[in-house]
């Protein structure tokens, strides 16, 4: 029986089979596929799909999230490709759509993440496992105390310094964790100068481990201009990965907000 399912861009996928050769173009969704029990069906991943380690070591790498190797993809003969609007290049995804069923996610908040997990559960015939993951995520996030909101500047890049706007998944995670993104009224990823950072006088400055790998040495630079702020290195994947890694986030958020 043919199944019709729309991805998060509204594109209709027509699939009348259980996918057996899946390629993931997104690290967080690669981990989700593993947690849905689809390790054997997963035949190709990107060089950034580092979790879980067993997948990273054993699966064929088809390039980076924005530099796909179409020759390798064709050789793997996928019957389903999982992509993301922001993490993958539109023209490359459109090219793949001409040849293969491609599910494209668009996730900017927790509810959209849960809808994505549900849809992938349907399309891969693992809906019971997907619904279990969603339920556990929902219950776990409900336990995070968010009575008080402390101001935070979340930095993702250096030279120039860049932060995150209110329309991003990271901003929604900050809100769920009990913080207020001081750039919540901005869009996407604004650049910010050191002088502007100094004027903010925020409670916290979070230096993310990805995409720019902030280290201990970067704390000193920010602390000099923000002497009253608490400067912390934070795990970027625990603010930006919107798959099954959501299960690990509430415990991490409680520790940060403790």
pLDDT above 70: residue 3? no
End residue of a domain, out of 98, 113, 140: 140
Q: CA-to-CA distance for 60 and 37, rounded, in angstroms? A: 18
Task: pLDDT band for 2, please (50, 70, 90 cuts).
Answer: low
Whether residues 24 and 132 share a domain: the answer is: yes
End residue of a domain, out of 140, 173, 206: 140
Q: What are 126-157's pLDDT values in tens digits?
A: 999 999 999 999 999 998 887 778 999 999 99
Whether residues 12 and 128 share a domain: the answer is: yes
Tell me which residue range forms the domain holding 29: 3-140
Q: What are 217-244's pLDDT values in tens digits?
A: 999 999 999 999 999 999 999 999 999 9
Q: Is residue 145 part of a domain?
A: no
Whether residues 128 and 164 share a domain: the answer is: no
For residues 195-203, give the mean pLDDT: 93
Count how many domains the chain has.
2
Q: CA-to-CA distance for 130 and 240, rounded, in angstroms? A: 19
Please, what is the average pLDDT of the chain? Answer: 94
Given this model, what pLDDT does residue 4 score?
73
Whether residues 46 and 124 share a domain: the answer is: yes
Whether residues 88 and 49 share a domain: the answer is: yes
* Greater model confidence, 258 or 213: 213
For β-strands 42-45 and 60-61, DSSP reports them as parallel
- Cα angle: 234, vertex 235, 239; to 5 degrees: 100
Whether residues 102 and 192 share a domain: the answer is: no
pTM for this entry: 0.93
DSSP class of residue 10 equals: S
158 by DSSP, 3-state: which? coil
Q: What are 94-118's pLDDT values in tens digits?
A: 999 999 999 999 999 999 999 999 9
Whether residues 22 and 123 share a domain: the answer is: yes
Share of the chain above pLDDT 70, in %: 98
The tokens describing 157, both together, are 């890049």
Task: For residue 157, list its beta bridge partners.
Answer: 162
Find out whether 102 and 93 touch, Cβ atoms under 8 Å: yes
Whether residues 219 and 95 share a domain: the answer is: no
Whether residues 180 and 219 share a domain: the answer is: yes
Report the CATH number that the domain containing residue 47 is assigned in CATH. Answer: 3.40.50.1980
Q: What are 15-40's pLDDT values in tens digits?
A: 889 999 999 999 999 999 999 999 99
């Amino acid at each position: 029986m043919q199944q019709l399912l729309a991805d998060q861009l509204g594109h209709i996928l027509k699939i009348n089979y259980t996918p057996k050769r899946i390629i993931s173009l997104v690290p967080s969704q690669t981990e989700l596929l593993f947690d849905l029990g689809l390790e054997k069906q997963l035949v190709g991943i990107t060089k950034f799909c580092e979790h879980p380690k067993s997948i990273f070591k054993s699966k064929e790498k088809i390039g980076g999230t924005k530099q796909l190797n179409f020759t390798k993809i064709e050789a793997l003969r996928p019957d389903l490709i999982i992509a993301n609007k922001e993490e993958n290049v539109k023209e490359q995804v459109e090219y793949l759509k001409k040849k293969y069923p491609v599910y494209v996610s668009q996730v900017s908040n927790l509810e959209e993440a849960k809808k994505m997990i549900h849809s992938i559960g349907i399309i891969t015939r693992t809906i019971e496992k997907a619904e279990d993951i969603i339920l556990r995520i929902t219950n776990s996030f409900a336990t995070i105390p968010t009575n008080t909101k402390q101001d935070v500047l979340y930095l993702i890049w250096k030279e120039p310094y860049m932060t995150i706007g209110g329309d991003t998944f990271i901003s929604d995670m900050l809100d769920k964790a009990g913080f207020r993104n001081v750039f919540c009224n901005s869009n996407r990823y604004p650049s910010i100068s050191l002088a502007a950072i100094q004027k903010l006088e925020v409670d916290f400055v979070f230096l993310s481990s990805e995409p720019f790998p902030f280290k201990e040495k970067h704390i000193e630079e920010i602390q000099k201009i923000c002497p009253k702020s608490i400067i912390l290195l934070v795990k970027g994947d625990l603010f930006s990965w919107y798959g099954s890694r959501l299960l690990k986030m509430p415990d991490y958020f409680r520790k940060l907000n403790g």
